[in-house]
Structures are given as C-alpha cells and as structure tokens.
Amino acid sequence: MVRELHTIEQVIAEIGGPQAVMKLTKRSSSSLVPVWKHRGKFPGYTYPAIQNALKAKGATAPDELWKLERA
C-alpha cells in the first residue's frame, strides 16, 4: 500500500530532512528548503526527483504540493 503524504513537512521528513532534499534536488543553498516550506510549495523542477524518491520509499504526495505549469 502506498502512503499518501499531505504536507511539505511530511515529504521532507520522509526523504530524510532538508539536507537530503538539497542533495536530491542538486541544490547547494541551505536556505532553499525553508523557503519552499514557507511558500507551501516545491518548485516544479523538483517534482520528478522528489516523487521518484517517495515512490522508492512506498509513498507519494499530491501534485498540489508543487508549483507546476499547467498546459
């Protein structure tokens, strides 16, 4: 059964914390993850990496947690 995570905080914790998210998304600024938390959305470019990491852990998160461009 796939666990549904509903908040950015849950996603960050599932991945292993802010440092793990920075490494996963290939970002070097330690201020980015707190900014994403404050805004309430991950940038769209992080979607594939984060969703793949969650899938590997048996979890998923709704698209609404990302700022995705709609066609």
Domain span at residue 28 reads 3-57
Position 1 scores a pLDDT of 84
Q: Are 62 and 42 in contact (CB under 8 A)?
A: no
Domain assignment present for 66 = no
pLDDT by residue (tens digit) across 20-71? 999 999 999 889 999 999 999 999 999 999 999 999 999 999 999 999 877 6
The number of angstroms, rounded, from the C-alpha of 21 to the middle of its chain's C-alpha atoms is 7
**Region of 17 on the Ramachandran plot (φ > 0 left; ψ -120 to 50 alpha; else beta):** left
Domain assignment present for 67 = no
* Residue 17 DSSP symbol: S
Position 8 scores a pLDDT of 97
Domain assignment present for 69 = no
Segment (H or E) for 60: strand 59-60
Domain assignment present for 16 = yes
What is the total count of domains within the chain?
1
Domain assignment present for 51 = yes
Position 69 scores a pLDDT of 78
pTM given for the model:
0.91
